[in-house]
Amino acid sequence: MKGVKTVYICSECEYESAKWLGKCPRCNSWNSFVEDVVAKEGSAPTAVQHPSIVRVGENHASPFSELEATEYLRSGTGLSELDRVLGGGLVSGSVVLLSGEPGIGKSTLLLQICDTLGADKTVLYVSGEESRGQIKLRAERLQVHGNKLYILTETNLEHILEEAKKINPDVIIADSVQTLYSDHITSAPGSISNVKEVAMAFIAKAKSEGISVILVGHVNKEGGIAGPKVLEHMVDAVLNFEGDRRQSYRIIRAAKNRFGSTNEIGVFEMTDTGLREVPNPSEMLLADRPVGSSGNCAVCTIEGTRPLVAEIQALVTQTAFPAPRRTANGMDYNRAYLILAVLEKRLGLKFSANDVYLNVIGGMHLDEPATDLGVALALISSLTDRVIPDDLIAIGELGLSGEVRGVANVEGRVREAARLGFHRAVIPQHNVQSCEKIAGIEILPAKNVYDILKFLKPKAE
């Protein structure tokens, strides 16, 4: 095609190359180059010349002392778990990128919040993947009755912007950004150029008119957001929708949020009538916990401001392989190796002759050092076949010398454990003073890994 050339662009740092490269010379990423078609000079307008990107007045530098803090207006989505992750609600003029695997429930979640947002705001739902009939069937199943909800099945960016100008919506939802394309870009939908152009157009409209925009993003086989990495830097918030499609529970995490914390999570359960909020995830995670079984220990981690009690299971069994197997599901693999090395060196336990399997129940991922003590107790319990009391919870970080180090916010963790019916809590000696006045739970201090052995009891016959 005359006036058009093909280049290869790194999806991580946008380095351009005339040929495909296995490794990016700028950011050293492997297999990150994707083919893209770009127009030569004079054949098509660039992103800066795009008609949707308008300049609002002239900008001038202002002294810092004259700046005024802006109070952002937030709108509730009707799902308190989602509002928690967003920092209190959907901010006017913000752009949110929601990503997740196919079939995880992204479209279901967005259609549910349209019911609440459409009660007093005008919402434009743009779908590039489904027909109007499919959306209508899902809306009836979810009992969505948005009075001010408009559905547009379109993939052309210019047509979408024209419809938005006629409707003048308060919220725009685009599902998904990889299916949309611009007439000003000659490459196919989903290419780096098209994804950037579409995102820039929506961001410009959101900032200039105060419209809240939610973009849905596909994920690649590694689990990252498909398209250029710069897309995540352009938006105000990046939400990751996680979970196993074979299980009913879903988790939303904020990987980036300019208007709130990035540590909060929202927990949902997928039902026949849509996503249902789980306001107390700890009870859900401990629902089917076995009684009187070795290798099970309760731990407490902090997600944002919320303490979550989870169950760690360990299975240590004699190996049939020349090299024993090590499997860690829901926790850092290297951290599990570290704890095994400490227990073998300090306590003389022979894990090197056994296969070790670690699992966190409920699809949770624990990456906090405060769970080290629970992992160690579960491993010792499974190896020695001694039972951990069902009413005991372990909180603490394990050092390489076998010492139990203090952790943050122990009081909040212990109170959550007491509320869920635990009567004993093993915590670091350093944190004992802050938990002495908590009623209904016995505090058991631990200075080192040797102290935790006395908390195990023989397995009941």
212 and 345 belong to one structural domain: no
pLDDT score at 48: 40
pLDDT score at 11: 75
CATH code for position 85: 3.40.50.300
State how far the Cα of 328 lies from the Cα of 359, in Å rounded to an integer: 6
Residue 55 lies in a domain: no
272 and 337 belong to one structural domain: no
Indicate the residue among 264, 279, 294 that finishes a domain. Answer: 279
Tell me the average pLDDT of the chain.
86
For residue 294, pLDDT beyond 50: yes
DSSP-assigned beta bridge partners for residue 300 = 309
For residue 387, pLDDT beyond 50: yes
pLDDT score at 223: 62
For residue 288, pLDDT beyond 60: yes
The CA–CA distances, whole Å, from 39 to 2, 94, 180, 202 equal 9, 31, 18, 22
Look at the chain and report how many structural domains it folds into: 3
For residue 461, pLDDT beyond 60: no
CATH code for position 409: 3.30.230.10
144 and 262 belong to one structural domain: yes
Cβ atoms within 10 Å of 325's Cβ, excluding its own: 12
Residue 138 lies in a domain: yes
For residue 49, pLDDT beyond 70: no
pLDDT score at 385: 92
For residue 43, pLDDT beyond 50: no
Average pLDDT over every residue of 305-334: 92
State how far the Cα of 288 lies from the Cα of 361, in Å rounded to an integer: 10
Helix (H/G/I), strand (E/B), else coil: 289: coil
DSSP state of 419: H
Cis, bond preceding 434 (omega within 30 deg of 0): no
For residue 309, pLDDT beyond 80: yes
Indicate the residue among 223, 244, 279 that finishes a domain. Answer: 279
pLDDT score at 313: 95
Residue 145 lies in a domain: yes
Residue 69 lies in a domain: no
Whole-model pTM? Answer: 0.74
* Residue 263 domain boundaries: 74-279
223 and 291 belong to one structural domain: no
Nearest to 300 by CA among 374, 399, 376: 374
291 and 251 belong to one structural domain: no
For residue 98, pLDDT beyond 80: yes
Residue 195 lies in a domain: yes
120 vs 95, more confident: 95
Q: To the nearest whole percent, how much of the chain has pLDDT over 70? A: 91
pLDDT score at 39: 55
260 and 308 belong to one structural domain: no
For residue 380, pLDDT beyond 50: yes
Q: What is the pLDDT of residues 416-438, one digit of tens each?
A: 999 899 999 999 999 998 887 78
Nearest to 83 by CA among 260, 281, 309: 260
Residue 149 lies in a domain: yes
227 vs 360, more confident: 360
What type of residue sits at position 321? F
Q: To the nearest whole percent, how much of the chain has pLDDT over 90? A: 49
329 vs 218, more confident: 329
pLDDT score at 280: 84
368 and 402 belong to one structural domain: yes
119 vs 362, more confident: 119
| Least confident window among 36-40, 253-257, 317-321 | 36-40
Residue 374 pLDDT class (50, 70, 90 cuts): very high
Indicate the residue among 222, 251, 279 that finishes a domain. Answer: 279
pLDDT score at 459: 61
29 and 172 belong to one structural domain: no
122 and 197 belong to one structural domain: yes
80 and 154 belong to one structural domain: yes
Q: Is 321 exposed, middle or buried (0-12, 13-18, 19+ CB in 10 A)?
A: exposed
11 and 108 belong to one structural domain: no
Average pLDDT over every residue of 46-58: 46
Residue 432 lies in a domain: yes
Residue 49 lies in a domain: no
Nearest to 319 by CA among 343, 342, 352: 352
288 and 275 belong to one structural domain: no
Average pLDDT over every residue of 77-101: 91
